[in-house]
Amino acid sequence: MHPVLEWLLDPVNPSVRYFTLVELLGVPPDSPEAQDARAAIMTRGPIPRILSRQGADGHFHHPRFAAEHGAEVEAYGYRPKYRATTWQLLIFAGLGAFGSHPGVRAACEYVLSRCWMESGLFTMEGSDRLFPCFQGNMVWALARLGFARDPRVLSALNLLIRYARFDDGGFRTPREWPYRGRLDRCSSSHSCYAGCARALNAVAFYGPAHSPEAAAFIERGVEFFLRHRVMYSSRNPAALIRPEIARLGFPTFVFPDFLEILGLLAGLGCRDSRLEPAVDLLLSRRQASGLWPLDWARSGMYTVLERPGPASRWTTYRALRALSALGRLEEALGPPGAGSRGCVLPGRARGGGGGARQGGGSSRARGRYSDQARGGSGDPGAPPAMDLEVEFAGVLADWLGAAGRKVLRLRLPQGSRAADAAVEVVRRFRRRLPPGLVRGGPGAAAAALSVVSRRTGVFRPDDPLAPGDRLVIMVPLGGGAAPRPHGDGTRLGAAGSSPPRPGRC
């Protein structure tokens, strides 16, 4: 067996182990091995820790939030974000929890009793407006947790199919329910990208065989994302829809990364040349170890699912699943012999696994973990580190003050890319950067920087770094070309040499 697959089968992450067995190795779900692996999901790892915080009624109560915002608002289970009940359904569904488990089923029944309306709409804190992202997430999660044929979920699915849209400009939003005319940002002239992804994901769970309307909906959704080549603006082919879409994260909850959309399209049997830019980016992110990194982790949850770092079980599994659906699994893994030579996989860390520590960690980490891309895994078995020197130029040097006039010595894992260096710089100096730049997290801020090497010139985001590299990091002037102290900077996030300008999609 390929060492990467063996690494994914480590019981330290029971969800990834189960999905690897069933989806990558083709083990029948009803086989003893697969059943044992899935049973472990409910006894080890994040799921039992989350369920330990659940109330007797299936709700995840937050008295402090209720006192500040009202008990009725808290009872809907949408806020506080990532800790309220509706968010736990997404985690349960994404991690492969048993829908028949009493705690999981109680949470599902609670959400259906509080959030489902007779119209088929899942309400977000009492609103009668359609939010395709929320509607799609609830339909998908409940369907995966055993409620796929529940009349309430089916009515929500049919409403989603009828009203969710895939518009790329030119649509005049009606005032009639469930739209809100010009005030409706979800179904405006250009449909919300996150809402489109979540709606398509929900309907894809049922498949085109569910109904002719579902088949037509899936066809429109697939074409919408192909028109955007998974992650790019259809108006400016060099610009990303949003800078953070190129950053690999888990769990994404609402706005997906490019890998999630690529996996969704591949799972629907899509084979189109317009997928190639996303496939190329995905393959370029593969580390020297043969694994994929996790660029950021969601903060504010009950437990850390995985920490950012160069060796991520979740990202590696998701990448291999998408490439497997495209018939490119062997390309991703390489030949079992030559392809695995020099493949240095992280060992199992104390209390976690290889560079992406699983489990609760300290009490502070369990309560809240920031969206930071870590420079190293802390695992003695991880790829060795390399030392770099970083200079700052232009307005970035001015923002950093005295630190911007010094040479920064940076240590990153072997196999790191230019984007990793930019993320680490943002992480270190976040408090000195303008709030508007760092609002989206280090990954989004790093996507607005240019990286130039004194040794090789221009760096693109996924260009590999080498030990001893001396980098110049700057902010491009006016969203255009970067200053040229030692070469033409290419703005991070670009596809090609022309710098993208994040804007309308």
Nearest Cα residue to 392 out of 481, 493, 288, 471: 471
Please say whether the beta carbons of 489 and 450 come within 8 A: yes
Give me the residue spans of the domains in the chain.
3-333+361-367, 385-479
Q: Comparing 3-333+361-367 with 385-479, is the CATH topology the same?
A: no
At position 465, the amino acid (one-letter code) is: L
Cis peptide leading into residue 48 (ω within 30°): no
Q: Which residue has the tokens 């849209």?
A: 165
Question: What superfamily would CATH give domain 385-479?
Answer: Beta-grasp domain (3.10.20.30)
Q: Which residue has the tokens 């189960």?
A: 18
Strand boundaries in 299-399, DSSP class E: 385-392
State the number of CA atoms in the 13 A half-sphere of 2 facing the CB. Answer: 22
Structure-token pair, residue 265 = 């399209």
Structure-token pair, residue 354 = 């290889």
Nearest Cα residue to 460 out of 426, 422, 415, 404: 422
Q: Domain 3-333+361-367 belongs to what architecture? A: Alpha/alpha barrel (1.50)
Residue 294 CA to residue 373 CA, distance in Å, equals 8
pLDDT at 235: 85
pLDDT at 243: 87
User: For helices 193-206 and 132-142, what crossing angle results, to 10°?
Assistant: 30
Give the mean pLDDT per block of 10 residues along the chain (505 residues): 95 97 96 96 96 97 95 95 97 97 98 97 91 96 98 98 88 72 67 94 97 97 96 87 92 96 97 94 91 92 94 97 94 57 49 38 33 38 70 81 80 82 84 74 74 71 81 65 33 34 40
At position 125, the amino acid (one-letter code) is: E
Nearest Cα residue to 117 out of 105, 129, 107: 129
Q: What is the value of pTM for the model shown?
A: 0.70
Cis peptide leading into residue 251 (ω within 30°): yes
Cis peptide leading into residue 500 (ω within 30°): no
pLDDT at 168: 86
Residue 230 CA to residue 259 CA, distance in Å, equals 9
pLDDT at 476: 66
- 3-class secondary structure, 116: strand
Query: From the centroid of its chain, how far is CA 320?
Result: 15
User: For helices 151-163 and 212-227, what crossing angle results, to 10°?
Assistant: 50
Structure-token pair, residue 349 = 């860390």
Residue 232 CA to residue 242 CA, distance in Å, equals 8
